[in-house]
Structure 1
Amino acid sequence: MTIDVSVARVIPLSPERVAEYAMDWRHDADWTQGIRTAELTREADGGGFGVGAEVTRTAFFLGRRIDYVLRVAAHDFPRLLDMVSVAGPMPMHVTYSFEPSPDGTLARIRVQGGSGGFYRLAAPLLARQVRSSLRKDLRDLERRLTHHTD
């Protein structure tokens, strides 16, 4: 079974403000469920963060530690950050998009992936858990940006 989960939330700030924070890997552990650490382990070809850069994340999901590496496949600030896993327990594709909305920014996260090994057995639970986690991610992103100066 493959997983394809998408969630969206309107955040009452400009796409530039939302993307500036959300697209910065240094903030991943602050607003993304389960992520304990995130580290830029490969810079983009032109240096820094962009297409080709890799971020290594350590997370805990369903009681298990997961180490995985996401490579930036597309980076179009402030509209889109698209990443694919190049190492980890299962294939994964994560897309963050930020579009102008009358009330601020329509922030969307989509996670697509195959469920292998342990995760195959837990696929229905996994999809529900991913959806719940992504909803919390967007809620926490909004809270950080509207109630916290960074």
Structure 2
Amino acid sequence: MITVVETVQIAHPAEGVFAFIAEPTNRPRWDETVVSEELTSDPPLRAGSTLRSQLRAMGREVEFHWRVTAYEPPRLMSFVSTEGPLETSLVLQLAASEQTTLLTATIEATPSGMMRLFEPVIGEGVRNNLATGLERMKALLEA
């Protein structure tokens, strides 16, 4: 199993950070592996909602389907994959203090079959992408 935890301090209120990450069309703006993301259930986004993401990973395009497992503005949002090349979960936790937000993102992924041989490489790619994406999000929200 791959577990990646990254944090970023954003000089922006938690409500604004949460609203930004809760809008699926914003994901390609901060996560360079995401080509598109869309809500596939009725709006608004909430626990139980479903999404579809088109990603570019390891030189190819893959599709993930997600279910929102927790939606607690402005402090917690989590997702699990329901379809895709590997079982994945994403938890986004926000902690506010005055006008800043500490965002902690945790990704857990379980490669299977031949992908298990590449677990260290996959894990490092996930870590690099997440760290880069959180810094990009920070820059967008602080601009």
Which interval holds the TM-score relative to the shorter structure?
Answer: over 0.9
Aligned residues: 143
Q: 1:65 deviation in Å?
A: 1.4
- Stretches of structure 2 that go unaligned for 5 or more consecutive residues are none
- Counterpart-to-counterpart distance in 1, 2:25 and 2:53: 11
- Structure 2 contact 22–45 (Cα < 8 Å) conserved: no
What SS does the corresponding residue of 1:52 show, helix, strand or coil? Answer: coil
- Structure 1 unaligned residues grouped into runs of 5+: none
- 1:113 to partner: Cα distance: 1.4
Tell me the equivalent position of 2:137: 141
Letter of the 1:127 counterpart: G
1:103 is displaced (CA, Å) by: 6.5
Q: Distance in 2 between matches of 1:118 and 1:62?
A: 14
What are the residue-to-residue correspondences of 1:36-75 with 2, within 5 Å?
36-43=35-42, 47-75=43-71
Task: Using the TM superposition, give the Cα deviation of residue 121 of structure 1 relative to its aligned residue in structure 2, in angstroms.
Answer: 2.0
2:93 to 91, 97, 110: 97
Q: Which amino acid aligns with 1:23?
A: A
Q: Distance in 1 between matches of 2:111 and 2:136?
A: 26
2:83 to 55, 66, 87: 87
Q: Which moved more, 1:79-88 or 1:116-125?
A: 116-125
Equivalent residue letter for 1:30: R
Between the aligned partners of 1:22 and 1:140, the Cα distance in structure 2 is 12
- Root-mean-square deviation (CA, aligned residues, Å) is 1.3
Look up the equivalent residue of 2:38 and give its one-letter code.
E
CA contact (8 A) 2:47 2:68 kept: yes
